[in-house]
């Protein structure tokens, strides 16, 4: 057990500098560009899905929250919201950046999610012309949690350090659990349990992606790095893993039928995309 802990700690520590650098960059972007991105997304009705899918790629946790708030206020269309959610990868990008040997995977994930987000966004806007609004919270309430965090830790380096520490501990736990299961039961047993090589894996990953915090993208990314899940399953899970955007909708959006519709659309897109990639790989 001690050897297992030592090996996992060694492997996880090696990614720590890259992870911290990625979070410093993300915090810088979030502090400098949130307002500009919000105005850009709200002001591009015709090109909403294209702009949304491009901006959703930017690795900052708050952008899916911004999109959720703009959708609730009627500033963007359903297709634009879906484009943002599909292209958002939550914590997966910094984790993959922290693994230099996964650069090609990172670029493939970004490319696939960008294309799928844009296409699905425009298709949805062709089919769905409007959504019915109910009484919701003002847009400024959406950022309440982020503002409180910035007041407590005004330095981007401090905020990045806290994010890095939290994700580092989470990755360590996930890595240890995976290593322990492989050590006790073997890699084949774990692969079979997760449906390796079958259409069930993108299905499972799509459902895992709906976990409304960073856990889903961290787990899926680490499972892929460890060779347990396929690229198709990773992509499927990251399509439904829309960061805090879904959590904001559940908390502040009163139209629960519309939320269910959004979840269903994301699930179908994720399952179809993941299954196709599974077949092609």
pLDDT tens-digit series, residues 174-233: 778 878 877 777 666 666 666 666 778 899 899 988 886 677 888 888 888 888 888 999
198-227: burial string, b at 16+ Cβ within 10 Å, e else: eeebbbbbbbbbbbbbbebbbbbbbbbbbe
Rounded to 5 degrees, what angle do the CA atoms 119, 131, 258 make? 85
Pinpoint the alpha helices (H) of the chain. Answer: 2-13, 16-42, 48-57, 63-72, 78-87, 92-97, 103-127, 139-142, 144-152, 156-185, 187-193, 200-208, 215-225, 231-240, 245-252, 256-280
pLDDT tens-digit series, residues 256-272: 899 999 999 999 999 99
| Integer Cα distance of 124 and 224 in angstroms | 30
Rounded to 5 degrees, what angle do the CA atoms 72, 78, 83 make? 115
pLDDT tens-digit series, residues 11-24: 788 878 887 887 78
Q: What is the pTM of this model?
A: 0.80
Better-scored residue on pLDDT, 134 or 238: 238
Contacts 24+ apart (CB under 8 A), 107-112: 108/231, 109/234, 109/235, 109/238, 110/57, 112/235, 112/273, 112/277
pLDDT tens-digit series, residues 79-95: 999 999 999 887 788 88
Asked if residues 109 and 89 have their Cβ atoms less than 8 Å apart, the reply is yes
pLDDT tens-digit series, residues 239-252: 998 877 888 888 88
Q: How confident is the model at residue 133 (pLDDT cuts 50, 70, 90)?
A: very low
Q: What is the pLDDT of residue 261?
A: 93
Rounded to 5 degrees, what angle do the CA atoms 200, 203, 205 make? 110
Burial of residue 81, with CB atoms counted within 10 A of its CB: 0-12 exposed, 13-18 middle, 19 or more buried: buried
User: Residue 125: is its pLDDT beyond 60?
Assistant: yes
Structure token pair of residue 150: 């910035």
Q: How confident is the model at residue 112 (pLDDT cuts 50, 70, 90)?
A: very high
CA distances from residue 236 to 7, 144, 229, 270, 276 in whole angstroms, order as listed: 30, 30, 11, 4, 10
- Residue in this structure with the two tokens 């410093």, named with its chain if needed: 24
Q: How confident is the model at residue 135 (pLDDT cuts 50, 70, 90)?
A: very low
Domain ranges of the chain: 2-280
Q: How many CA atoms lie within 13 Å of 58's alpha carbon, on the beta-carbon side? A: 22
Q: What is the pLDDT of residue 136?
A: 47
Q: How confident is the model at residue 34 (pLDDT cuts 50, 70, 90)?
A: low
Q: Mean pLDDT, to the nearest integer, of 110-121?
A: 95
What is the CA 91 to chain-centroid distance, rounded? 6
CA distances from residue 91 to 27, 214, 218 in whole angstroms, order as listed: 13, 6, 6
Percent of the chain with pLDDT over 70: 77
């Amino acid at each position: 057990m001690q050897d297992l802990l030592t090996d996992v700690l060694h492997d996880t520590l090696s990614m720590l500098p890259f992870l911290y650098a990625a979070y410093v960059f993300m915090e810088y972007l979030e502090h400098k560009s949130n307002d500009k991105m919000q105005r850009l997304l709200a002001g591009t009705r015709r090109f909403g899905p294209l702009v949304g899918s491009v901006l959703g790629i930017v690795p900052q946790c708050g952008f899916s929250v911004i999109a959720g708030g703009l959708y609730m206020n009627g500033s963007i269309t359903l297709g634009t919201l879906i484009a943002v959610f599909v292209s958002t990868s939550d914590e997966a990008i910094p984790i993959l950046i922290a693994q230099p040997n996964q650069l090609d995977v990172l670029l493939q994930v970004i490319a696939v999610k960008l294309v799928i987000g844009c296409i699905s966004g425009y298709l949805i806007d062709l089919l769905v012309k409007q959504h019915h609004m109910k009484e919701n919270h003002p847009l400024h309430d959406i950022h309440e949690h982020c503002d409180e965090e910035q007041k407590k830790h005004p330095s981007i380096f401090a905020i990045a350090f806290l994010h890095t520490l939290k994700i580092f501990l989470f990755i360590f736990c996930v890595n240890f659990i995976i290593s322990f299961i492989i050590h006790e039961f073997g890699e084949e047993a774990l692969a079979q349990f997760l449906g390796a090589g079958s259409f069930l894996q993108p299905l499972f990953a799509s459902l895992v992606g709906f976990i409304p915090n960073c856990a889903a993208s961290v787990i899926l990314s680490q499972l892929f790095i460890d060779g347990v899940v396929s690229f198709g399953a990773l992509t499927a899970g990251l399509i439904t893993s829309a960061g805090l955007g879904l959590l904001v909708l559940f908390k502040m959006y009163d139209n629960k039928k519309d939320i269910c519709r959004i979840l269903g659309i994301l699930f179908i897109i994720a399952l179809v995309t993941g299954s196709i990639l599974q077949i092609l790989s």
